[in-house]
Structure 1
Amino acid sequence: MTKIAIIIGSTRPGRNGEAVARWVHRIAKERTDAEFEIVDIADYNLPLLDEPMSPATGQYTKAHTKKWSGKIASFDGYIFVTPEYNHATSGALKNAIDYLYNEWNNKAAGFVGYGAAGGISAVENLRLIMGELQVADVRAQVRLSLFTDFENFSEFKPASYQVSSVEAMIDQVIAWSDALSVLRQN
């Protein structure tokens, strides 16, 4: 069964990402064509990249890196739930991604962005990063506005039409994850 991680891309106190990830997970659990798991980068307590060797070598010396590596390697694809901070993804998510290299390769990624402009710049930032990691990012994405999908910028109340955006994105992530499985077997 295809395994997809829903990665919470913020560690900020009071973050909106956890509620967004739970909502995506509820929608995803209705499906029978893949398994879904929420992965919270906050649970891994990753300091600013502290491995002495490049992640491309896979020579990890720190327990937190080995734990993070094992978790990420166990998935066939990813859905990144990202805030938009200053026209980019969060520093915490970028740091978590940068810890690894081979674990990301030949997998698929979809994006759920949230922010004043729907997290569009954060997602575009992640698309550049995914290309370097040999991750196939899908076209469909979810854009959640702090103005229309959150009450008082903090209580998550997504517009009903957003469900179909999530479903379309998940369809593509599963299709590409499955298609890339041939590359992951080599």
Structure 2
Amino acid sequence: MRLIVGLGNPGSKYAGTRHNAGFWLVERAADRLGVNLRSERKFQGALGRYRESGADLHLLCPDTYMNHSGRAVAALTRFHRIAPEAVLVAHDEIDLPPGVVRLKRGGGHGGHNGLRDIISALGSREFARLRIGVGHPGNSDQVIPYVLHAPGRDERSAIDAAIDAAATQVPDLAVGHWDSAQQQLHTRG
């Protein structure tokens, strides 16, 4: 991995919403790694870099709204010549319950507008995903208001535990230990 992107929406209005789970992951990983995320206008987001033990990893939270996340991702990947296969996108996943996190290589957008925009901007589906379960509202008509609201206390606690587990795997992911990170995350109780 050379880039981990956390998806979310900028601003205090959205900070605590389920749709910002990707931001939460990148912020937690940056904190654990001692990386300072700074606003970088050129890359349309808050950016940090982790270089240690053979890793050279960029961490990015786009300043664009979710539906335009691809702008920031494309700007950074073009500038640093990062292949889509070396990108991991962390995002909220309604098809997983709160507290569950899954790694996945490649694939479609599954209706997620942030992923859809990144696929379009990169011209590739071959980036990896870190899917952070936030649960489903039960009715597909309620998905947008559901992800744009804060989870309840118990749900947030479960999501935070999953994010903590994922953040501990970032150093391994940065040096290419995908299988061990995936095993740790997919078998956690």
Common topology (TM > 0.5): no
The normalised TM-score by structure 2 is 0.44
The normalised TM-score by structure 1 is 0.44
Greater RCO, CA 8 A, separation 6+: 2
Q: Which one has the bigger helix percentage? A: 2
